[in-house]
Structure 1
């Protein structure tokens, strides 16, 4: 069975590469189906997702009534079992992740269970293709959905959002299994949408984007251009609606101008990342998809300007997006508060989607630099090491104030709105698909993960590439190259040199390192040093590759101190600590129960120590800090104590307590409070 799955998935990828569609991204990511991991960092995480997170999410969906909603829709009776009418999408996202996992490791029981769920979903679909359990069961009492279909789609009904995730799941299921049972349901719904929306029909900007991405995926499978056109139609609907504008606070302004939905002005006029950050990321990814397939330069200009704004002025050091919890989204430029940082896990996932598409459009390593930073820090911080506890928010610090701990410090087994856990389900198995890319006869190595892949770099000419590395804990990467042709194969290998390895903390001036690297990057081929001439952040090695050729990369893994742009007021006089691609934090469990009282001198030296039995195996950083102590007689003193830092992603797995990413380097002033 597994061989059949692989064959079908590969044949589809090859089918696309033959140019059925005239336009597409200049650079193409190598699908996850072609990359087999044997990695010590990512493979265990993917296995936990397969064996724990996905089954757990299905279980919680059953316990909370998400599956019962479909059963009630089949019976055309009942009340919404859950809180939100978009909870259908959770089932779709889990199915998507499970479909990916079937390819990684076939599971007959899971395959059968997915078929049973797909059958249930098909029965819940109305005869004309409409699929939305709350309305179909007859419950129109929820204030978000309106009395008629799509009446409140521009706001919060999420009818099209649900379908966007359904299309993504159906596409993944088809590619992973070759079965059309879920795809058939998706196409029936998409054809229904064509009768409702479009020029001369219903005109609406979807309240929560993702339908744009889903429609493009159906277009890629079927070649039916109406799906692509509808995706563009939904994008172009933005900025046409009139919102009641009133003076008021920031939250009122975001809602009353339409900025929350990125609906304040037409997309081609937008230059700033605004509103709900997950919605925004999905929109920009959808715009990139449509632009790549239609050569829409206006879209490209807009999302490039928005990218510059988002990653020059509105991104946390972990790659997290979204400063404002009130609307789960972007705030003003440089307003990057640490304790109130929202950084929703879903926003990190949407950022990866957006940045990967920007790379596929432009071939610039800066987009992968952001992707990598997000992947190793702000994204996987959303899932507990046990695979069944989650963080919705990912702030930069937890502090005890007035006897209470600020921030979402306790991981939860589920949420009333569980978009983040189910998004993790579907995202994790797709990680192998971000490692490589191709353009013509060029192979791009974007991420450093132990794996094996076989690629076609010329007509009927393949090469097997094997990476061996202990990244991100070590900077040594070995890439073995084995062309199928015994005479060798001439092509170019483009190896990304991460910005952090070139003394560039961030692709923009938002963050910078203090000091310089002690070592430099080293690249060798068969033991011979290579000239480090960079092209868009890559080292290009073009030659006649023969079996046994080896590329060796040595990246300088050094503990670095990072500072933020001077306009980020919350981080003036503070430093963050990084090691390779990993952002570190201090947590209560390692530092005498507190982190808010710690001062880290600028000249502090750290020792690295890999701890295999700590937090599933992490590299710790050990140094010293000055601690401000309030004594029983209310006097204050300062003592020197050991300082232990752990990777930010591993926080909140040992109970509740203080945590900090940014550290003051000296005492500037003390505030004395009286009660």
Structure 2
């Protein structure tokens, strides 16, 4: 009975779940994202490659390091190389480049030369600590690195058709499948830093080998069971299981089995990768309990533990979550990788349930918490993304732990896959990015052309091109930030209230070649207020226009930003400035500021400070720290 039920659920999933349109079928040519994708290709990719070389990350695969020699290969250097390979593969699919292709081929040859006869592939545990192979899954990132290398192999095969890295990673996955599980002689372990789970699902999808899906399901299902594996392996190493830096297995989401987890806890990136894998498995196996768990976790995150920028993770101590409503601004961690992980999880939730709340969060993270992580020139990066700064926090060209630079570099060239999705009867538009997509709805091929100046303007025009009339449902996301929206089909008004389904305008009809759809979202500047339990933001206001959160910098607002107040009735205007950092809509309004020059050296006095009028100038949050150093504020005092 169970197997029959599972089979029917999988059939339902294959026919009804939305499948992202591959980025290779989407050509982005808008004024906002296209320059960023180009800079990623022309500047960030070569910058990252240079640093992979100069820091020894690529050279580690030569396996020629010896004790006493400098540049000891780190336990997760392989993941940085893998993410660069994944990014380079995506970039090559978009724009052929013989020099980049040669670098990729050379790197793959070097990587595969380091693979051991049994399939194992990790430079550190091959030449630095071979006796520790698979001995400390809690801390040593072996499966994490393997996961990223598998993702790189899948990307490289899908975009180039070459099998060298894919075949090597299949051998590695076979070794992992033989090593871990519930069978005789196998280790009943799982990774301390989640990643392998979602990677194995990708490997299953491209190879059709069910064993990889089964191993992914094993890793997810085994996590958090008692007796706890990390305790057992610590005892086998001769260590005290309690001698653990983070003191709790909430840190890596292994404190209880995944289906019993009700709150997002611990390391934010690990959580996002785990939840992404849980949704992948729910989709591929029809396991509704995993979907239910993700619904619970999603609601908890978005209602209590997410920054207004879409950033997640409060604390530097655990690079993750603390308590409900604990969202400080100046000490916000909000790791770039975590925001990227939230984008990944959001897209997967959309595949199972086309609900605009997932697309809203995906968009919000992309436009704020993700692209803030890279400078306008593409060569400097944020690891942490605070919402307030005294002027000491700046992007860096690289980090000893460079997961964020290499994560950004792989996201941008694959952005097209987040815009559209289809199944046999539906075409969904999740994001509004000027582009042309070649899609299939059922067996019918069609082209969708999207024209827009989003996010600066809310007008979007869609045009369909097809060989024959085709019946399908077109689902158009109505952004959660939009208070006034209109839709026309071939010039005729559509009743939005009559066709709204889970935040998507759903229009089912026979579509013809040349049909046009116009959407218009009003984009006024809005004041945003935080939940009263967020003590850091009580009495404060943030500014939002469309999907963008705004901030104040000292470069535009001389004096202490903490002394500034935005009156409740102050008029605020938005205008496009084509000269500002590549072009952006800037917000201006009348604010009040407490001046310090009339205090005559007094520290305290019995008369209140006198406020003076000040022209406030706010810029999109993602653009901060691209000019001279200075203060930053997202949340302003309100009066």
Normalised TM-score (structure 1): 0.87
Distance 1:586 1:293 in 2: 45
Distance 1:76 1:253 in 2: 29
Distance 2:419 2:552 in 1: 30
Distance 2:54 2:532 in 1: 49
1:271-313 CA-partner distances (Å, limit 9, x unpaired): 1000000000000001111111111122111111111111110
Q: Which runs of 5+ in 1 are unaligned?
A: 1-18, 141-145, 245-250, 400-404, 503-519, 667-675
Distance 1:81 1:148 in 2: 19
Question: How far off is 1:255 after superposition?
Answer: 2.4
| 1:179/1:388 CA distance change after superposition, 3 Å | same
2:364 matched residue in structure 1: 373
Quick check: 533-542 or 365-374, which moved more? 533-542
1:185 matched residue in structure 2: 168
2:218 matched residue in structure 1: 233
2:4 matched residue in structure 1: none
| 1:538/1:253 CA distance change after superposition, 3 Å | farther
The question of whether the paired residues in 1 share the 8 Å contact of 2:573 and 2:587 is answered with yes
Of 615, 618, 627, the match for 1:654: 627
| 1:531/1:253 CA distance change after superposition, 3 Å | farther
Alignment of 1:301-312 (within 5 A): 301-312=292-303
Question: How far off is 1:239 after superposition?
Answer: 1.2
2:309 maps to 1:318: yes
Distance 1:92 1:594 in 2: 44
1:573-624 CA-partner distances (Å, limit 9, x unpaired): 1110000000000011100153222111111222212111211211100112
Question: How far off is 1:135 after superposition?
Answer: 2.0
2:96 matched residue in structure 1: 106
2:482 matched residue in structure 1: 501
1:391 matched residue in structure 2: 382
2:38 maps to 1:47: yes
2:136 matched residue in structure 1: 152
Normalised TM-score (structure 2): 0.92
The question of whether the paired residues in 1 share the 8 Å contact of 2:74 and 2:124 is answered with no
Of 543, 546, 570, the match for 1:580: 546
1:543 matched residue in structure 2: 509
| 1:391/1:640 CA distance change after superposition, 3 Å | same
2:412 maps to 1:438: no
Distance 2:529 2:514 in 1: 43
The question of whether the paired residues in 1 share the 8 Å contact of 2:73 and 2:124 is answered with no
| 1:103/1:21 CA distance change after superposition, 3 Å | farther
Question: How far off is 1:92 after superposition?
Answer: 0.4
Alignment of 1:116-515 (within 5 A): 116-137=106-127, 139-140=128-129, 147-153=131-137, 155-200=138-183, 201-240=186-225, 241-242=227-228, 255-399=246-390, 405=391, 409-459=393-443, 461-485=444-468, 488-502=469-483
Q: How many residues align?
A: 607
Of 518, 526, 531, the match for 1:560: 526
Question: How far off is 1:437 after superposition?
Answer: 0.8
Of 598, 606, 609, the match for 2:572: 606
The question of whether the paired residues in 2 share the 8 Å contact of 1:79 and 1:134 is answered with no
Distance 1:22 1:554 in 2: 34
The question of whether the paired residues in 1 share the 8 Å contact of 2:60 and 2:73 is answered with no
Distance 1:611 1:79 in 2: 53
1:512-533 CA-partner distances (Å, limit 9, x unpaired): xxxxxxxx21111111110103
- RMSD (Å) for aligned C-alpha atoms: 2.0
Q: Which runs of 5+ in 2 are unaligned?
A: 1-8, 232-241, 603-608
Q: Describe the SS at the equivalent of 1:464.
A: strand
2:605 matched residue in structure 1: none
The question of whether the paired residues in 1 share the 8 Å contact of 2:65 and 2:72 is answered with no
The question of whether the paired residues in 2 share the 8 Å contact of 1:576 and 1:661 is answered with yes
Distance 1:192 1:411 in 2: 39
Of 629, 642, 650, the match for 2:595: 629
Question: How far off is 1:458 after superposition?
Answer: 3.3
1:52-88 CA-partner distances (Å, limit 9, x unpaired): 10110010111111112112x1678775726731011
Q: Describe the SS at the equivalent of 1:499.
A: coil
The question of whether the paired residues in 1 share the 8 Å contact of 2:144 and 2:196 is answered with yes
The question of whether the paired residues in 2 share the 8 Å contact of 1:219 and 1:228 is answered with yes
Runs of 4+ residues over 4 Å off in structure 1 = 19-25, 74-80, 241-244, 251-254
The question of whether the paired residues in 2 share the 8 Å contact of 1:593 and 1:657 is answered with no
2:6 matched residue in structure 1: none
The question of whether the paired residues in 2 share the 8 Å contact of 1:80 and 1:134 is answered with no
